[in-house]
């Protein structure tokens, strides 16, 4: 949500800023802007909507900033005030000398605004951010030092922020700081890049320094200086990032989502390396820092997550209970944080998050940590705020996921849950050897099975086209694949805007069946195993109400052809592992419907990949 970029160096700043903002588009936004240091003033350009609108605006004015080699930029996802040009960042003080971009929410903005208005600040926008511009400008009047002004101002700000600031009088200087919002500095040769996330810096340099909360960095053409909130200079921790620029290209695929779906077999192989060597050996999971004794004694686990990660958590609950016999609760973070939760030092709390920045999950984790629970984080971003809260960190290593709709990170979270559940089962001795070995053997060949589905995706594309014009879509399943139904429906909703819902099939007759008629597609996730026959009966019930029946199945039963108008066949797999296989065609159905309808697959309307507000 919102993205910040900044550049100081010797190249044309505008190209780097716009390119950086494009790389952050996945975060979700509805307006954009840049500020460029020109001869004797700072010029600001903003536009509503997509970055193309900002680029058109810039083209009209390009003579004004062609020599600019320093600037800041922003994409805004509206929270305080509509997505208008006035509310778009950068924001300034009264005279336009002090310019800032901000990501996060200033909680005490009303109080600060009242104080600043008394001192003469004239507010133009409805944003919380503008208060910070006036506040820093006020501190600057007193100190005449931009870094010091930022340092003093941030002491009075409550809430979350990543800020990048420039001042007309301090040419060739950028100041950046953060609290509870991500920010890093890309370190090039005689140039620096500020960004909310790695994709904006990695095309230029692999060297980066992550800012920690409350640290303030000052960037000039002569170098950078890092200080703590007391003004004490800190050592710089520049690291070489493991990301490759190629990870950010579509590699010939039409959309990032399709590329990321195809990466899934390798994502799984990657996770298994070093953790699962062969079926006869125990799972190796050094990341789990709980002692074996504590693990054996655990009698309760809570898993907290949002969105797609929540669905991975639901599969996690199923397998941990099944493999380890430990009671597991799963809850949406946004619900968890507003009730009295029973959590203590004997509870293991697992937070699941692709981004590691989701505000609700982060708050939930902090709450449980304060109560003394061991915190295990499953995330794709070991550099994230959530990772820093972890007592145990399971990094899923799916690589940067650009498409807003999560696919490969979901698969990576699922596989991480399997490894964790197997690991705990081995320590507890809660599964017999034959079962353990059979699950491990089959887990190792899951990537090939996914490859089989991907090499036969034309039939799934055909199915998607057949139903693309529907207004509603129902997914039904039971048992371990109920979360698969929820995730399949979420994928379709997110990127095609079709009203899709996942139900536990047994619940159909308690209400949803009233919705069924000849216009309603019902997709039944019919994987062989304990609930197969039951689900078949539920599918019959739906068929009897004339619903348009689709099966996603690993069964070769010929009789299915009488019941279903479309059958998507997937390779055979044991029931306990079937969620990893069953979700692939559902991701593809959502993708192909969205693409067929001409929707913005990778950046669906209103959504953000990293939801940093509660």
Binding residues for ligand G6P (CB under 6 A): 306-309, 353-355, 358, 361, 404, 406, 607, 609, 611
Q: 544: how many CB neighbours lie within 10 A of its CB?
A: 10
Options 2, 93, 306, 324, the catalytic residue: 2
Strand partners of residue 210: 184
Give how far Cα 414 sits from Cα of 311, 375, 410, 417, 484, Å.
9, 18, 6, 5, 11
Q: Answer yes or no: 95 catalytic.
A: no
List of residues 6+ apart from 254 with CB closer than 8 A:
595
CB of 247 to ligand G6P, least distance (A): 17
CB of 47 to ligand G6P, least distance (A): 24
Helix (H) or strand (E) holding 158: none
How deeply is 293 buried, as exposed, middle or buried, from its count of CB atoms within 10 A (0-12, 13-18, 19+)?
exposed
Options 440, 449, 543, 609, the catalytic residue: 609
Q: Answer yes or no: 2 catalytic.
A: yes
Burial 453-465 (b: 16+ CB within 10 A, else e): bbeebeebbebbe
Distance of alpha carbon 194 from alpha carbon 73, whole angstroms: 10
CB of 211 to ligand G6P, least distance (A): 20
Nearer to ligand G6P, 147 or 587 (CB): 587
Helix residue spans in 456-531 (DSSP H)? 457-467, 482-496
Which tokens go with 557? 């039963």
CB of 396 to ligand G6P, least distance (A): 10
CB of 308 to ligand G6P, least distance (A): 3
Nearer to ligand G6P, 341 or 407 (CB): 407
Nearer to ligand G6P, 13 or 350 (CB): 350
Using the structure block, give the residue that is written with the tokens 């990127």: 495
C-alpha torsion sign, points 81, 85, 90, 95? negative
Strand partners of residue 98: 167
CB of 494 to ligand G6P, least distance (A): 7
Nearer to ligand G6P, 406 or 549 (CB): 406
Among candidates 193, 196, 173, which has minimal Cα distance to 185?
Answer: 193
Burial 495-522 (b: 16+ CB within 10 A, else e): bbbbebbbbbbbebeeebbeebeeebbb
Instruction: Say which DSSP state 283 is in.
Output: P
Which tokens go with 354? 């692709």
Q: Which residues are catalytic?
A: 2, 609
């Amino acid at each position: 949500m919102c993205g910040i970029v900044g550049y100081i160096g010797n190249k044309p700043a505008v190209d780097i800023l716009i390119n950086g903002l494009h790389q952050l588009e996945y975060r979700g936004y509805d307006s954009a802007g840049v500020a460029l240091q020109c001869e004797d003033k700072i010029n600001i350009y903003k536009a509503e909507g997509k970055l193309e609108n900002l680029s058109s605006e810039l083209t009209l004015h390009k003579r004004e900033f062609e020599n600019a080699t320093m600037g800041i930029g922003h994409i805004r996802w509206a929270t305080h005030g509509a997505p208008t040009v006035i509310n778009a960042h950068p924001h300034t003080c009264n005279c336009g000398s002090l310019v800032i971009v901000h990501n996060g929410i200033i909680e005490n903005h009303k109080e600060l605004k009242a104080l600043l208005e008394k001192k003469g600040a004239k507010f133009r926008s409805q944003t919380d951010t503008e208060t910070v511009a006036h506040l820093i400008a006020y501190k600057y009047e007193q100190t005449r030092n931009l870094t010091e002004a930022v340092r003093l101002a941030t002491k009075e700000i409550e809430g979350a922020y990543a800020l990048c600031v420039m001042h007309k009088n301090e040419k060739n200087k950028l100041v950046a700081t953060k609290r509870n919002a991500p920010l890093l500095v890309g370190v090039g040769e005689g140039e620096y890049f500020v960004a909310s996330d790695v994709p904006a810096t990695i095309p230029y340099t692999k060297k980066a320094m992550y800012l920690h909360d409350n640290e303030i960095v000052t960037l000039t053409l002569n170098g950078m200086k890092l200080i703590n909130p007391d003004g004490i200079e800190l050592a710089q921790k520049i690291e070489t990032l493991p990301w490759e620029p190629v990870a950010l290209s579509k590699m010939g695929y039409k959309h990032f989502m399709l590329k990321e779906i195809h990466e899934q077999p390798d994502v799984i192989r990657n996770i298994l390396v070093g953790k699962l060597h062969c079926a006869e050996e125990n799972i190796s999971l050094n990341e789990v820092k709980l002692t074996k004794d504590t693990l054996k004694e655990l009698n309760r686990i809570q898993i907290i997550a949002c969105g797609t990660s929540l669905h991975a958590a639901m599969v996690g609950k199923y397998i941990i209970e099944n493999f380890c016999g430990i009671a597991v609760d799963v809850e949406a973070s946004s619900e968890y944080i507003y009730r009295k939760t029973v959590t203590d030092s004997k509870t293991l709390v697992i937070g699941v998050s692709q981004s590691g920045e989701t505000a609700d999950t982060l708050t939930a984790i902090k709450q449980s940590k304060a109560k003394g629970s061991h915190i295990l984080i499953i995330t794709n971003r070991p550099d994230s705020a959530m990772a820093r809260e972890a007592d145990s960190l399971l990094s899923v290593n799916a690589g940067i996921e650009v498409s807003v709709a999560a696919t490969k990170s979901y698969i990576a979270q699922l596989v991480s849950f399997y490894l964790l559940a197997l690991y705990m089962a081995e320590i507890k001795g809660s599964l017999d050897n034959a079962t353990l070995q059979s699950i491990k053997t089959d887990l190792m060949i899951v990537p090939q099975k996914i490859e089989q589905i991907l090499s036969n995706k034309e039939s799934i594309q055909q199915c998607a086209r057949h139903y693309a014009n529907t207004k509603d879509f129902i997914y039904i399943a039971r048992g371990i694949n109920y979360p698969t139904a929820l995730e399949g429906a979420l994928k379709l909703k997110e990127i095609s805007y079709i009203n899709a819902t996942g139900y536990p099939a047994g619940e159909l007759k308690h209400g949803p069946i009233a919705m069924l008629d000849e216009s309603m597609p019902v997709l039944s996730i019919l994987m062989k195993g304990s609930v197969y026959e039951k689900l078949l009966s539920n599918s019959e019930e739906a068929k009897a109400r004339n619903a348009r029946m689709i099966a996603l199945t690993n069964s070769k039963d010929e009789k299915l052809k009488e019941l279903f108008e479309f059958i998507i066949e997937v390779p055979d797999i044991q029931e306990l592992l079937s969620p990893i296989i069953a979700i692939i065609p559902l991701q593809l159905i959502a993708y192909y419907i969205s693409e067929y309808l001409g929707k913005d697959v990778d950046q669906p309307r209103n959504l953000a990949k990293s939801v940093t507000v509660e």
